[in-house]
Amino acid sequence: MRSPTPRPTSTRSPADKPSLFDDGATMLTIYGRAFRIAPILGFLGAYRGFDDLERDVRQRFYGPIQTNNGGKPVIPAVHLIYALAIPCTPGDDCLLYLEEVGVDIVKEYIEPASRRGWHVILDSQLGRSDPAVQVKRMIDKGYLRYENVHVALDPEFKSYPGRTTPGIPVGQIDAAQINRAQELLDAHAREVGLKTRKIVMVHQFGDPEVNDGVPYMILNKSSLKTFPTVDLVLDADGFGGPDPKAVKYNRMLNDQTYPFIQWRAIKLFLPNPEAPNHYDKPQMEWPAVFGRRDTPGGYRMRWPPNIVIIA
């Protein structure tokens, strides 16, 4: 009989609940604020709605992904910047939530996505808040009761004490904060009886293994833990050419350095007319993304990503 108070485990393959990635599937997330909102913030904002999105995504991305992931399934997801970092004012958390701009997340995203077999990622840019506080908010709003809804955390925009502009400099969170957020989500998933594991994704492009002057975005990273109903996914974020992207991916997501790592993601920045200088130059070709071919400089992705984020 399982204990009603789950404990974290250091095993790399928690097996209490099935994972979306067990069959080798690749999750494809389309990142942005929301449909028709601020396309400068990500690819998602250029689409009018699910019909428009699904048609284009199937035509543009399914073929290249399945050609390079061994013909495994593609799991599509809308990747919402749920909590957008904004300039801080006294007493606030430096975040603007989608509900506060009139978005009905359940009716406009979660339920339509579920009917289509899509998932939803709720991404928090953290601001002055904390990972556990953000997860609790999502739980209290009822979003994480849905099987197809997951969490992403973006340390880049964690605000420093005394600073009023999140992201300047690049933010940091501690592994203990991520562990606490996972613990809350694990307990919630057990309480409501979810059938599959939830995803907690953490973006990063600063790491001791890279050590390129960017602040280490996950402090004490080696103390990250895994939980039985949560898939912890670390994302190699940041735009650049194929060579630096592959090098950073391999160093930050190395399971010999960080033995808890099982699932990996990479963010690809495609040309965006709303953000003409904010994209990967040149673009990483799909065979290189999945480690089937070297990058132009002779680097190879050591592990195919479990999640590809289109930003």
Question: Residue 158's pLDDT band (boundaries 50, 70, 90)?
Answer: very high
Beta bridge pairs of residue 218: 173
One-character DSSP codes across 78-145: EEEEEEEE----TTS-SEEEGGGGT--HIIIIIHHHHHHT-EEEEEE--BTS-HHHHHHHHHHTTGGG
Tokens 């195919």 belong to: 304
The proportion of the chain whose per-residue pLDDT surpasses 90, expressed as a percent, equals 91
pLDDT value, residue 10: 34
Q: What is the mean pLDDT of residues 236-242?
A: 95
pLDDT value, residue 11: 38
Contact in structure between 218 and 253 (CB atoms under 8 Å) = no
What is the average pLDDT score of the chain?
94
Q: What is the mean pLDDT of residues 145-171?
A: 96
Neighbours of 238 (CB within 10 A): 22
Query: What phi and psi, each to the nearest 5 degrees, are found at residue 309?
Result: -105, 125
Per DSSP, helices labelled H in 130-241 are 131-140, 175-192
Indicate the domain borders of the chain. 27-310
How far is it, in rounded angstroms, from Cα 124 to Cα 220?
A: 21
How far is it, in rounded angstroms, from Cα 89 to Cα 54?
A: 38
Contact in structure between 122 and 161 (CB atoms under 8 Å) = no
How far is it, in rounded angstroms, from Cα 300 to Cα 31?
A: 25
Q: How do residues 25-51 score in pLDDT, each as one tens digit?
A: 999 999 999 999 999 999 999 999 999
Q: Name the class of domain 27-310.
A: alpha beta
Question: Residue 277's pLDDT band (boundaries 50, 70, 90)?
Answer: confident
How far is it, in rounded angstroms, from Cα 205 to Cα 269?
A: 14
Within the chain, how many helices (H) and strands (E) appear?
Answer: 8, 11
Q: Has residue 294 got a pLDDT over 90?
A: yes
pLDDT value, residue 98: 98
Q: Has residue 14 got a pLDDT over 70?
A: no
Cα angle 276, 96, 83; round to 5: 75
Of 13, 12, 27, the residue nearest 308 (C-alpha): 27
Counting beta carbons within 10 angstroms of the beta carbon of residue 234, is it exposed (0 to 12), middle (13 to 18) or buried (19 or more)?
buried
